[in-house]
Structure 1
Amino acid sequence: MNFDVVIIGAGIAGLTCGLTLQEKGVRCAIINNGQAALDFSSGSMDLLSRLPNGSTVDSFAQSYAALAQQSPNHPYVILGKDVVLDKIQQFETLAKSLNLSLVGSSDKNHKRVTALGGLRGTWLSPNSVPTVSLEGKFPHDNIVLLGIEGYHDFQPQLLADNLKQNPQFAHCEITTNFLHIPELDHLRQNSREFRSVNIAQVLEYKLSFNNLVDEIKQAVGNAKAAFLPACFGLDDQSFFESLKQATGIELYELPTLPPSLLGIRQHRQLRHRFEKLGGVMFNGDRALRSEFEGNKVARIFTQLHLENAVTAKYFVLASGGFFSNGLVSEFEEIYEPLFRSDIVKTERFNTTDRFSWISKRFADPQPYQSAGVVINAECQVQKDGNNVENLFAIGAVIGGYNGIELGCGSGVAVTTALKVADNIIAKESSN
């Protein structure tokens, strides 16, 4: 099996890279071993929310110099400011073409409401999620927080108590209520089945739409806006938008405990576009072993293709971090298992010194979270001190930064994905 490009990993990085390549006629295969971190995400995409010294970031461009000084190994710094800004704008255009229904701009972060009633700075958010500008107030002054009876992954009273603490909502009258929705009774009998995905399937296909509309209107009363758990619409926002139109109420949805419907929608839309463009998915498969010829990856072998090698001109490592086994931790070593790529080392972190992996204070950012492979400005992977000619890395498998601490995981994923796609397209055009 031979392709122009083989991508290992089907998260936001792998799919963004793959569909961009397919659009230019580059034949891609993606090895997909199961659920990606995107399925568990909030649906919002972070570019850069904080600096390593803890300072809040309002504007990426204005904070770039400080980031470069404080975190010289960060992928943004390796790529360079102009490249990152270009790829950010490229992704914003791509998101519109994919109808991801995202709002926001790289010019300035905004704040999204979390399911616990906090406000988190971010770059892009689904337009169905309640957001406020950094200085502004929420546009509605009477809000009802609607839970679903028996659904414990969304707690309206906890949300209300915390939301009132934010000055952006200080002017609001906030009340709570619950929807019963009788069609969900069979799910309530088993709490393990009473999750957002299962609820969405029932609501979209097995209930009376008009009855749901009437119940929402009755529960909201005279309020002009309502927040609900993200359980309405599995494939996209169309079902949720239909509810907004039918009720005449400004409805907003909040991501719940994983799996997250908002992330699942984005994953499905990206994958659908990739496959529609002719991309090949190796679903339920895992890359196990690689072989090199000189300074190039020659072939890889997967769990379902142990005898028949998968070959390509280029290989893209988008396997993620520890969550998806893109990185592996054993007692004496942290390593990347497929290519045995070099791992970033810093003054605070050494892959073979277990005592450097964690901070003594539990609440501190943990050094192991910045583990990942070494890349250059072209996102080529380093192995044994040398850059591998046809091997690139994108997303969370790259080292030198802590995406959770800095709030930049999605931004790194899409900027490196688009950078690699452009590199490969340029190489193919010159051949």
Structure 2
Amino acid sequence: MDAIPLSALFGILIGLIILSACFSSSETALMMLNRYRLRHLARDGHRGARRAEKLLKRPDRLIGIILLGNNFVNITASAVATLIALRLGGEGALAAATGLLTLVILIFAEVAPKTLAALRPERIAFPAAWILGPLLRVLYPLVWLTNLIANSILRIFGIKPDQEGHSTLSREELRTVVNEAGAMIPQRHQSMLLSILDLDKATVEDIMIPRNELSAINLEDDWATIREQIIRSAYTRLPVHEGPIDNIQGVLHVRRSLAAMVTGEMGPEQLRESLMTPYFIPEGTPLHVQMLNFQSAKRRMGLIVDEYGDLTGLVTIDDILEEIVGEFTTDPAENIKDIHPQPDGSFLAVGSASVRELNRLLGWTVPADGPKTLNGLILEYLETIPEPGTSFLIDRHPVTVLQTEENRVKVARLQPPVKPVSDRGSAR
């Protein structure tokens, strides 16, 4: 060792510190890689991504080769630093050399390279994979022995490192990814993706047209009334009942029957014969399930029934699609909105406005598994049918009943939320 020039020892020490920095940065970079982006790049043919993905399939082996190399380099650097210290100052310089080497390795071989790797993982991980892969094959026996001992210790605690972990995103995690995508995904597309994630939280009752608002044909009406109703209908399909609305006879396709109706070729008997078989939907069916059911049954409209077989409402495939993409219908009857913004910042809402729409448009956080409409929400909160002028708080939003009709709230005014004085909303 005395034959080695001091300058060569300094060169070796600097080279070892650089190697230590490479091992440290490659470890952080590979572990910081976005697994989903890595998988995407690998499938697109990125060779560095493929090698990195292959290494990450067995993280115990990857960590083994990195730590094996890093520890070997650091120990060798310590030995070289000791030789340099002995030559320069004898045994008295060993303590100073040890402290100085620790500081140099900490800054230049650990903190700085690992910080860089955390900020730019792909730039470091992909080139490092080209070197770590062959190095792992060369030193595999030593890595295997090291991992065998380490994994045996982990198995004592019930951990099995040899089983590949499958990292999957939960719905809420996927929602966070979509929200944080920023400019990578247009705002409208983000809203659509989030709406798709919410489909399994909603049921057909959340978006249905309730039975008291159904436009339906009663076969017990006189023919002139039925004919006028069909000609003036804004809908393509109309439920047909005889007597009580629960006694559904079928569904009339208005467009197919309109020409015959106008020319007088269709009468009551022909109307009955042209009815399509009604399609019934059990209440409580999730929207994502019903969308698939519509597709498999090749239907566009269904009648919702409760456990007793009584009609509760109607839902169409268009209603479900609007939950995803927003309102797109040009149906004249749908141009009347349930929630109207006012110049003073308040909103006028009809009693049939859905709780889901209130949550979405006004930022309410009312659970959607209770009452489905504003009217139901008010009645449940007050436990009585309110008089016009009654004011109270729902979810910190002041609500004033403006108009009632028989046993329901027809119109209410909704104000912006008040500052939370307490967590409880109190009637006023």
TM-score, reference length from structure 2: 0.20
The structure with the larger Rg is 2
Bigger relative contact order (CA 8 A; separation at least 6): 1
TM-score, reference length from structure 1: 0.20
- Greater fraction helix: 2
